[in-house]
Amino acid sequence: MRNTNSFKLKHTRKGRLGTEGVYEENSHVIYKRQGKVGDMKLQGSKLLVNLLEANDVEFVFGVPGGHLLKFYDSLLDNKQITPILTKHEAGASFMATGFAQVSGKIGVCVGTVGPGATNLITGVASAYMDSVPLLVLTAQVGTSTIGKGGLQEATGEGRTINHVEIFDGLTKYSTLVFDVSKLAQSFRKALMQALNGRQGPTHLDVTANTFAAEVEVERSVFRPISIYSMNGDRASIARAADLIFDARNPALLAGYGSLNARQEILKLAETYSIPVATTLKAKGIIPENHQLSLGVVGLYGTNIANKYIRSGIDVLLAIGLSFSEFTTHTWDPKFQPDTALIQIDIDVGEMGKNYPINVGIIGDSKEIMKQLLTVMKTKEQKAIGDVQAIMSMKKKRQYYADPKMNSDQVPLKPQRVMKDLQEALPEDVIVFGDIGNSLAWVESFFQAHKSKSYFVCSTLASMGYGVAASIGGQIAAPDRQVVCICGDGGFLMQGMEVLTAVNYDVPVKWFILNNGTLGMIRDTQDTLFNKRRISTDFLNPDYVKLAEAMGAEGLRIQKPNEIAERTKEALDNGRPTVIDVIIDSNEAPSFDARAEAMVRAWGVKPSIFQKIKLIPEALKRR
């Protein structure tokens, strides 16, 4: 089923910049020409807006405040950039993250001085840890008031917080812009760093007087920031090609840093019959129904991926991943291949960080994979892997075929919900996951058939991320359907942003897996604390009525035969829709690996009784 409903964002104003950063004829001119050819005089706020437009920014997510009003006033004159008013700045930073993940462009979020800035923090931190490019703009008091105790001052003078220091630990670059003559330079440096190398957020803290002051600028400052490729070492690429060609039992492991190399990864896999596993954030980089796909490896990954990657691989090509705790079952030694580990990453800090490598190639994954394929073409084309054996192993290990996926029980088994949602949603659907057991259900039982179709912030693991980020994702992809699959705990953290979707007519569909508990925490307490539960269960509102009160559609799913019917109803209405899915509160994902990870984090060994409890789940993964 393919989504045919596209939408037009309310209040969107379109325009275009000329090649020299000036509005063309019939558009609003927002600078004063000076006598010298190529020079212009601009107010700081208008300069910033022009810089954003010249770099193809169309949306700014945030909440205005007094010290930001000059900036917002300049947005009013602009015909390309649409401000998205969110209900909370955390929602703004999550939406900007979702927009950047789906569009591949930089996301922009703003917050006023003080609480506006601090409210942005969790979303910015999530983007930083997941390498998502954002430009974070915060307002600051005027320079003449610094140190005098101005309202909401955040410069670090006296007993005040310091925006720049706070964001310095959350971004690639954080600076205070207190002079309008430095604004363009700081902006270009921020974008250059956000978009190049290992991408991530950058931060500009702009004083109120900088927004208000005028400055002469050269048109050259409006040249769009370029993204520079990193090609890798040719000798290392040739060595990697030899190792892969001579391998007996190789595998590919693709991470989030390889999303742009999906075509090259698939080409290499198909040419030499090499199976491919992915990290959670790279889910679907090759279709999970492809015969060479092993699915996601890691704590809640597929049985076959976790078995195959840890069962005597001789050569492992790892592309764009950090070998994190979540991926490696707390750094299981079995992830080290017998002959050679080849690692491709844009960040030298990731090279050999957790496992010794035989070949390390630093650079852009797409460029390196292109070169690797070119070298491999000079060799004989042969099937290194055994496709039939892989298919047989997948069948034996119930690859996306768990019996509970066909369960007719009520309350609903989440496995069944995932299966029916996959069948009912469009083939090109974009899914945003959240954090908690809802993430495990999607990871293990919702099969992704398209690359760049599944997004999550699994490194910082912020609950509520998917609820808001999905709005930014839908804005970035108006011709595709975006859905969020979240738990009730996560929805309650960011659920008021449904109002933002209603305000701008953004038709996201939120499927809330409703079990009245913080499931992952409860499961930990049950397994490791002898069912001593505390602060996990809670009362839920009536989500249908809540949705309707916010101006959205509200639907409820309680029985298996309602999943497809209600999903179609949600897709057909073309409106923001909240679907309350009542699931079995006693159903829990496989927990052995997660429990082991938590116990290790505490620095203790599990008791014999705890180990016995985990045996049934552990056996499933053998």
Average pLDDT over residues 207-232: 94
Average pLDDT over residues 332-343: 96
User: Reading across the β-sheet that carries 454-455, which strands appear in turn?
Assistant: 454-455, 430-433, 482-487, 509-514, 577-582, 553-557
**Mean per-residue pLDDT of the chain:** 90
Q: Is the pLDDT of residue 14 over 60?
A: no
Confidence at residue 590, expressed as pLDDT on a 0 to 100 scale = 79
Tokens of 147: 């140190």
Share of the chain above pLDDT 70, in %: 89
Instruction: Report d(CA 351, CA 441) in Å as an integer.
Output: 31
Domain spanning 32-222: which CATH class is it, in words? alpha beta
Confidence at residue 459, expressed as pLDDT on a 0 to 100 scale = 87
Confidence at residue 180, expressed as pLDDT on a 0 to 100 scale = 97
For the chain, the straight-line distance linking the first and the last C-alpha, in angstroms and rounded, comes to 36
Position with higher pLDDT, 605 vs 544: 544
CB contact at 8 A, 238 and 255: no
Q: pLDDT tens digits for 423-475?
A: 999 999 999 999 999 999 999 999 998 888 999 988 899 999 999 999 999 99
Confidence at residue 16, expressed as pLDDT on a 0 to 100 scale = 31
Confidence at residue 593, expressed as pLDDT on a 0 to 100 scale = 63
Confidence at residue 329, expressed as pLDDT on a 0 to 100 scale = 85
Q: E strands of 452-552, at which residues?
A: 454-455, 482-487, 509-514
Confidence at residue 35, expressed as pLDDT on a 0 to 100 scale = 37
Average pLDDT over residues 122-151: 94
- The dotted CATH code for 234-396 is 3.40.50.1220
Q: pLDDT tens digits for 384-403?
A: 989 999 999 999 999 999 99
- Report how far apart, in Å, the C-alpha atoms of 442 and of each of 172, 391, 532 are: 31, 22, 28
Q: Is the pLDDT of residue 615 over 80?
A: no
CA 362 to centroid of chain Cα atoms: 23
pTM of the model: 0.92
- What 345-349 contacts at long range (C-beta under 8 Å, 24+ apart), as own/partner pairs, is 345/257, 345/319, 345/320, 345/321, 346/197, 346/198, 346/230, 346/257, 346/320, 347/197, 347/198, 347/257
Position with higher pLDDT, 24 vs 180: 180
Average pLDDT over residues 252-261: 96
Name the band, by pLDDT with cuts 50, 70 and 90, for residue 3. very low
CA 397 to centroid of chain Cα atoms: 29
- The dotted CATH code for 403-589 is 3.40.50.970
| 32-222 and 403-589 agree in CATH topology | yes
Q: Is the pLDDT of residue 17 over 60?
A: no
Tokens of 308: 């195959």
Instruction: Report d(CA 418, CA 77) in Å as an integer.
Output: 46
Q: Is the pLDDT of residue 13 over 50?
A: no
For β-strands 214-218 and 39-43, DSSP reports them as antiparallel
Report the interhelical angle of 592-602 vs 519-528 (nearest 10°). 70
Q: pLDDT tens digits for 270-310?
A: 999 999 999 999 999 999 999 999 999 998 899 999 999 99
Tokens of 67: 């010290």
Tokens of 463: 């609950």
Q: Is the pLDDT of residue 416 over 80?
A: yes
CB contact at 8 A, 274 and 417: no
Task: Specify the residue for token string 């933002």.
Answer: 500
Average pLDDT over residues 494-523: 97
Position with higher pLDDT, 509 vs 31: 509
CB-based burial label for 505 (10 Å; 0-12, 13-18, 19+): middle
Q: Is the pLDDT of residue 19 over 90?
A: no
Provide the 3-class DSSP secondary structure of residue 578: strand
List the domain boundaries for the chain: 32-222, 234-396, 403-589
Tokens of 478: 């108006």
